[in-house]
Structure 1
Amino acid sequence: MKYLLTLIGLLIATVASAQKDVEMADVMRSNGKIYVVVGIILIVHAGLLVYLFMVDRKVTKLEKEQANRTS
């Protein structure tokens, strides 16, 4: 019951906040700075993606080495 009320409260808060006007985004868009924000977000996501693939390759390599030791 507690989780259901929390979920309903979050949904209502989300819908209520979606109706508000976002003034900061409008100002940044009019100044052309929104592209800087989007660029930084893309760079951060690209960095995380590269890091994820590098870690995955290392884990795969370690798994293969461990499989070779046990065989």
Structure 2
Amino acid sequence: MKKIILSFLLVINGLICSFAQTNAEVEMATDFRSSGKIYVVILVLAIILIGLAIYLFTIDRKITRLEKSRKA
């Protein structure tokens, strides 16, 4: 019963959020696009995400190495 109520509330929340959005353009995004700075923003975000992914993979490798040494 709780799952049904929770899923119903999530659907209602999604509908409310979709109707709350407006179609007005954001000035900052338009300015970034017109001046070409949007590519810098995308590049910085990509570098941050790649760095996080590399960090997570190295942490995972260290943890698996520690787990293997602990079992042995």
Normalising by structure 2, report the TM-score.
0.74
C-alpha distance in 1, partners of 2:27/2:63? 45
Report Cα offsets for 1:14-52 as digits up to 9, x if no partner: 343252322211110001110111011001100100001
Structure 2 residue 24 is matched with structure 1 residue 11: no
Which amino acid in 2 is paired with 1:48?
A: L
Q: Gapped runs of 5+ residues in structure 2?
A: none
**Following superposition, which runs of at least 4 residues in structure 1 exceed 4 angstroms of deviation?**
1-7
1:7 CA displacement: 5.3
Q: CA 1:20–1:11 in 2, change beyond 3 Å: closer, same or farther?
A: farther
Normalising by structure 1, report the TM-score.
0.75
1:11 CA displacement: 3.2
- What is the 5 A alignment of 1:14-33? 14-17=18-21, 19-33=23-37
- Provide the aligned length of Structure 1 versus Structure 2: 68
